[in-house]
Amino acid sequence: MRPNLLKQKFRAGEPIVNAWLSIPSSYAAEVVASQGFDSVTVDLQHGMIGFDSAVGMLQAISITSATPLVRSPSRDTAQIMRLLDAGAYGVICPSIDTPEMAAEFVRACRYPGAGTRSFGPARGVLYGGADYFSHANDEIMAFAMIESQQALDNLEAILATPGLDGVYIGPNDLALSLGAIPSAQPDDVVERAISDILGQTLRRGLLAGIFCSDGDMARRRVEQGFHLVTPGNDANALAVASSSRVLAARGGKLAVQGNGY
């Protein structure tokens, strides 16, 4: 089976820079994945992406060296299994608040006798290789999103879930759960929670990932000890690049904005 390069980088202690896709476009996915990212995540929870679009995006990522990941839309096991069958090499699952949720999620990512994943890896075999079934349980990665007070309360038990590869922090939902306002620069209560999650994850020897507002924040998170960082998403990058070009073309003057978004 094709090795999971993300897992290899984690074991080697190398920082992992992960791209995040929210726009349903295989061409955009191919462009982003060709920029040198270690992994690329197709976001089916908050991205404007359905399963059909996700398949084409995973195909586009697969012609590059980046490891294809997905954020599942929910903990629904059928959807998680289908995304793995489509060729995802790792799943980031939202709203893992209890050890029972974590165990159910991990089982969906593993074939019996480590889990309950149903057999039918259609594209998984095309991408992973003819021996996919024999090695998938060892190569596919399962990441639980920690983004609530309840998850913080149950963190030790969640991290003890057999087969869990790591956690991924959603700072904005975590902020909301802690009574704070989502921000590119999390306030103190959120930062304390992030530090606690990171410390417990590192002590368990699991991978720690986090979504970041931009490249500078991502670098700071790597220096803090995170293994995997996501420096924003494709929509944000497109908006920032476009606005900077408009600004440059107008000699540094902002256009008057009308009503709308």
**pTM across the whole model:** 0.95
Catalytic-residue membership of 46: yes
* Mean pLDDT of the region 95-101: 98
In single-letter form, the type of residue at position 44 comes to L
Residues 6+ apart with CB under 8 A from 147: 94, 95, 169, 170, 171, 172, 173, 174, 177
Q: Is the peptide bond before 50 cis (omega within 30 degrees of 0)?
A: no
What percent of the chain clears pLDDT 70, i.e. is strictly above it?
A: 97
Round to whole Å and give the CA distance between 6 and 16: 7
CATH number, domain 5-249: 3.20.20.60
Are 105 and 75 spatial neighbours (Cβ–Cβ below 8 Å)?
yes
Does the pLDDT value for residue 187 go beyond 60? yes
Task: Label residue 233 by pLDDT band (50, 70, 90).
Answer: very high
Round to whole Å and give the CA distance between 208 and 14: 12
What percent of the chain clears pLDDT 90, i.e. is strictly above it?
A: 96
Helix (H) or strand (E) holding 161: none
* Mean pLDDT of the region 195-218: 98
User: With left for phi above 0 and alpha for psi between -120 and 50, is residue 57 left, alpha or beta?
Assistant: alpha
Residues paired with 243 in a beta bridge: none
Q: What is the dihedral of CA 221, 8, 104, 178, to 10 degrees?
A: 0
Domain boundaries, the chain: 5-249
**Given the residues 2, 15, 28, 46, the one annotated as active site:** 46
**Average pLDDT of the chain to the nearest whole number:** 96
* Mean pLDDT of the region 40-44: 98
Are 173 and 40 spatial neighbours (Cβ–Cβ below 8 Å)?
no
